[in-house]
Amino acid sequence: QVQLVESGGGWVQPWGSLRLSCASSGVTFSLNVMGWYRQAPGKQRELVARIGGGGSTNYADSVKGRFTISRDDAKNTLYLQMNSLKPEDTAIYYCNGLRQQYVWGRGTQVTVSS
C-alpha cells in the first residue's frame, strides 16, 4: 500500500525558512510527476510546486522565487525549501502525484506568524 509521509513543518516568523520532506513506501518519485500541495483553513487544496521525472519544475505564482522543489532519488525523498515565508503561506502541506492519484498523507502544518 502506498504511503506518503510529510515532515518538517512548524512555526516560523515571517521571512523565515523551512524545509519540508516527503517520504514514500510504494512510490518511486523519479518515475512520477510529483507535487507539493497546501490547504489553508477554509480554502481548497492547491498545488504550489511540481517536479517531473526529468527534474523540470513548475511553481504557483504565489510562491515563485521563494520556494524550491527538489528530489533525492537515492533516498526517494521529495523536498520543498521554503524561504521568505509569509503569513499567507500558513497551511497544511502535502505531497502527492500530479494527478493526486495516491492516498493523501497527514500532511505537515506550517504556521507563519510573528
Tell me the per-residue pLDDT of 41-60, one tens digit each, with 9 for 90 and over.
Answer: 999 999 999 999 899 999 99
Report strand pairing: 10-12 vs 108-112. parallel
Q: What confidence score (pLDDT) does residue 65 get?
A: 98
For 77, residues 6+ apart whose C-beta sits below 8 A from its C-beta are 21, 22, 23, 29, 71
Q: What confidence score (pLDDT) does residue 108 get?
A: 98
Is the pLDDT reported for residue 62 higher than 90? yes
For the segment 49-76, the average pLDDT, to the nearest whole number, is 96
The gap between the terminal CA atoms of the chain, to the nearest Å, is 40
> What percentage of the chain exceeds 90 in pLDDT?
95
